[in-house]
Structure 1
Amino acid sequence: MPRSIIAATILLTFGTGVVDVSSFLRLGHVFASVMTGNLVLLGLAAGTGNGTLARSGGTALVGYAVGVAVSSLVSRPLEGHRHRWAALSAMHLLVLAGWVVLWVTVRDAGTAGESWTLGVAAAAMGVQSSLVRLVGGQGMSTTYLTSTLTRLVWDLGHHGRVGWGDPARCAALVVGAVSGGLLAQHAAAWTPAPAAAAAVLAAALWHRAAPAAIAGAEPVA
């Protein structure tokens, strides 16, 4: 896989850290991308009768599912087209821009504003997951890193070495979370800025790689 594509996935993973932490701290204590965690939180909400947590977890799940579903519908007619990934890249930027606008304008405007902001954030993560799946295959992720960490540790134990992509994505997630946490606490209006900048840079890197090299690529790092 081209190095520019691996670098793009690292940037997107950094953005995921920003989006997830901002959602957890400011949008109902749920995650925009970690649906396993949100399913657990929904179970917790059911068990404790926490309606607010149930609403937030359900909103994130629906938003993420909508992002994946729309990505699938958009990419399906372009099956086999060498620029199919570009359509999802553009859609990812568009939905993420919508999240930025909602964060700045209606995030604090009551329950409805919070829910819309969370739902669009989750939709952006759904589109991002679909894009990365298309580019890097089913083994590549920039939103849920359990499988990435598993592969990293397995390869280290089995082969005694790892590629640079997996550890870099894990580190990027943590750095993004730190950035998002600091901004959400001290400069809330600017919280989306690092994620938006990372997404734009990632899109530029997508376009540096030959579409033919991206299509059907297998993750190698």
Structure 2
Amino acid sequence: MEQAAADNAGIAGTGVTLLCFASGATDVLSYLTLGHVFTSAMTGCMALFCLTLINRKFAAASRAGASLLSYAVGSAAATLLQPRDPAKVRTLPVVRRLLLAETLSLAVYCTVSLLVDHPFAGAARYGLIVLSATAMGIQAVAARDIHERGIITVVLNITITSVVIALTRRLTNRGLAHLPAHNRLQGIVILGYAAGALASAGAFVSGFASPGLLPLAAVLLTLIMFTISGVQHA
């Protein structure tokens, strides 16, 4: 029983880390190719929206606004894909459904990005913003369902704060004999985000034809893992 619980926790932790990798890769990719906008980190996107709006850079503001709105639509769509009964939300079929929806959104994104001319502009750029931000909105809901502690994969402020608090308490002997498993996982997902960002930046700089395949591969791997593992969440 203990081994089954450990396996379950390990798979859930791996899942949210892969999704965090996808977020890091997506933020770098969207910033570099979609007109200096974020499609995963909505805090940064909101700041960009306000900054560009106040400076009357309406084209840039419209891109940030499109990202914010699409992310919200993705989160709403993911919520509608969940059962009405809250007790049935965190189940394996629901997690698979959400990951499949995100995978399809990212697959369409990759297809469009390969078919249109670079650098992206006009309707193609806005379409890619919508697809990417919608996928990240779905992912935010899916990640909450994967792990019972609701690991956040698209906004790291809270996660970083939690890790810093736990480390400070541990190192200064303020009631923590060891770093809790949840905080250790938070540290791992932060590294997952950084790895995704580095991989995406490296792919872009090296001229890789479709860096968008990186987040798609991470989410698809998560979907496959939860399809063959049979676990629910940790």
Is the pair's TM-score, using the shorter chain for normalization, greater than 0.5?
A: yes
SS, match of residue 132 in structure 2: helix
Q: Which of the residues 62, 66, 77 maps onto 2:69?
A: 62
Query: How many Å separate the matches in 2 of 1:166 and 1:135?
Result: 14
Q: How many residues align?
A: 214
Correspondent of 2:133 among 93, 100, 122? 122
Task: Summarize the Cα distance change of 1:107–1:168 in structure 2 as closer, same or farther, 3 Å threshold.
Answer: farther
1:24 and 2:31 matched: yes
Q: Which secondary structure state, in structure 1, belongs to the residue aligned with residue 40 of structure 2? A: coil
Q: After TM superposition, give the deviation of residue 44 of structure 1 in Å.
A: 0.4
Distance 1:20 1:65 in 2: 16
2:96 partner letter = A
Stretches of 4+ moved more than 4 A in 1?
none
The counterpart of 1:103, out of the listed 100, 105, 113, is: 113
Question: In structure 2, what residue type is equivalent to 1:176?
Answer: G
Which structure would you say has the larger Rg? 2
Closer, same or farther: CA 49–173 of 1 in aligned 2, 3 Å: same
CA deviations on 1:118-149 (whole Å, 9 max, x unpaired) are: 11000110011010112224641111111111
Moved more, 192-201 or 39-48: 192-201
Return closer, same or farther for 1:145/1:85 CA change in 2, 3 Å cut-off. same
- List runs of 5+ in structure 1 lacking aligned partners: none
What secondary structure is seen at the aligned counterpart in 2 of 1:29? coil
Higher mean alpha-carbon deviation, 5-14 vs 72-81, is at 72-81
How many angstroms apart in 1 are the aligned matches of 2:190 and 2:158? 11
**Residue aligning to 2:46:** 39
Cα 1:155–1:184 change in 2 (3 A) is same
- In the alignment, is residue 146 of structure 1 matched against residue 157 of structure 2? yes
Partner of 1:5: 12
Report what 1:94 is aligned to: 104
**TM-score, normalised by the number of residues in structure 2:** 0.84
Q: Is the 8 A contact 1:103 1:189 kept in 2?
A: no
What SS does structure 2 have at the residue aligned with 1:2?
A: helix
Please tell me whether residue 201 in structure 1 is matched to residue 221 in structure 2.
yes
Deviation at 1:105, TM superposition (A): 1.7
Taking only the aligned residue pairs, the percentage that are identical comes to 25
Where does the alignment leave 5 or more consecutive residues of structure 2 unmatched? 1-7, 170-175
Letter in structure 1 aligned against 2:104 = L
Answer yes or no: is the 8 Å Cα contact 1:7–1:205 preserved in 2.
Answer: no
User: What amino acid is the match of 1:193?
Assistant: L
**Residue type at the aligned position of 1:18:** A
**Farther off after superposition, 83-92 or 65-74:** 83-92
Q: What TM-score comes out, normalization by structure 1 length? A: 0.88
Q: Secondary structure at the match of 1:31?
A: coil
